[in-house]
């Protein structure tokens, strides 16, 4: 059963930064937004069992939101948070990338950092052993096409060259694996003409060194949502 009261020993509030982690909450405790909603710029709710973000709309000044290791799925609704710059939702249960990106685009207009590692929507080996680096790069192009203001995606800074490539080809990079079919398919908008792409993304030429074997590591007992953000990037 979900606790009816917050655990004061697990709560940390300092200089507009609020953390409430590892408490098996299925939702945001109302006490948190009642006491701190108007004061918080940074909110960390990692390592809970959160399935709904009801009440998040009360944190109107939120700039950083860490929701790693929860149970957020494809039905989650995000409130409009115009100041939010950082969203980390690593290791949840999100598989519908289109819906997620549409929600983010609509509700977080200031977002510059997004991390989706260990969700099915993020096609790398953390979420699916069948995925490879080419799948992941196509995913990055698609996300950056839809969210062109991002400066970081997952654990990697967005380069100028990558942004340009996403603007040119990202619309055609939505990758889906139909049920029962092991082969990837790229889904194109209606009425568009297929542009042939090289099998080896290194063959694109103008991004030499941008691709290669990437090692994704997500370990530890604490949130890593903003470990890749430098002060100069905020």
DSSP 8-class letter at 42: E
Distance CA 36, CA 213 (A): 43
Q: What is the band of 174 on the pLDDT scale with cuts at 50, 70, 90?
A: low
What is the pLDDT at residue 9? 86
Q: What would the pLDDT profile of 136-157 be if each residue is shown by its tens digit? A: 999 999 999 999 999 999 989 9
pTM: 0.72
Q: What would the pLDDT profile of 63-108 be if each residue is shown by its tens digit? A: 999 999 999 999 999 999 999 999 999 999 999 999 999 999 999 9
Q: Which of 68, 82, 184, 167 is nearest to 116 (CA)?
A: 68
Task: Give domain 11-222's CATH architecture.
Answer: Alpha-Beta Horseshoe (3.80)
Note whether 142 and 167 are within 8 A (CB).
Answer: no
Query: Rounded to 5 degrees, what angle do the CA atoms 175, 176, 180 make?
Result: 150
């Amino acid at each position: 059963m979900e606790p009816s009261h917050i655990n004061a020993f697990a709560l940390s509030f300092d200089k507009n930064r609020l953390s409430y982690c590892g408490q098996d909450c299925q939702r945001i405790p109302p006490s948190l937004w009642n006491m701190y909603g108007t004061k918080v710029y940074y909110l960390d709710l990692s390592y809970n069992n959160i399935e709904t973000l009801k009440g998040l709309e009360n944190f109107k000044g939120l700039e950083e939101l860490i929701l790693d290791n929860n149970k957020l799925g494809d039905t989650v609704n995000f409130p409009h948070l115009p100041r939010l710059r950082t969203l980390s939702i690593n290791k949840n249960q999100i598989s519908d990338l289109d819906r997620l990106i549409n929600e983010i685009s609509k509700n977080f207009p200031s977002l510059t950092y997004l991390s989706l590692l260990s969700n099915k929507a993020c096609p790398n080996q953390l979420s699916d052993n069948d995925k490879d680096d080419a799948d992941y790069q196509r995913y990055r192009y698609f996300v950056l096409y839809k969210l062109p203001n991002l400066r970081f995606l997952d654990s990697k800074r967005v380069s100028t060259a990558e942004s340009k490539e996403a603007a040119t080809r990202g619309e055609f990079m939505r990758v889906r694996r139909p049920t029962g079919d092991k082969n990837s398919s790229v889904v194109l908008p209606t009425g568009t003409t297929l542009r042939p792409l090289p099998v080896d993304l290194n063959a694109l030429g103008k991004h030499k060194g941008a691709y290669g074997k990437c090692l994704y590591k997500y370990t530890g007992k604490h949130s890593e949502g903003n470990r890749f953000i430098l002060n100069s990037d905020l």
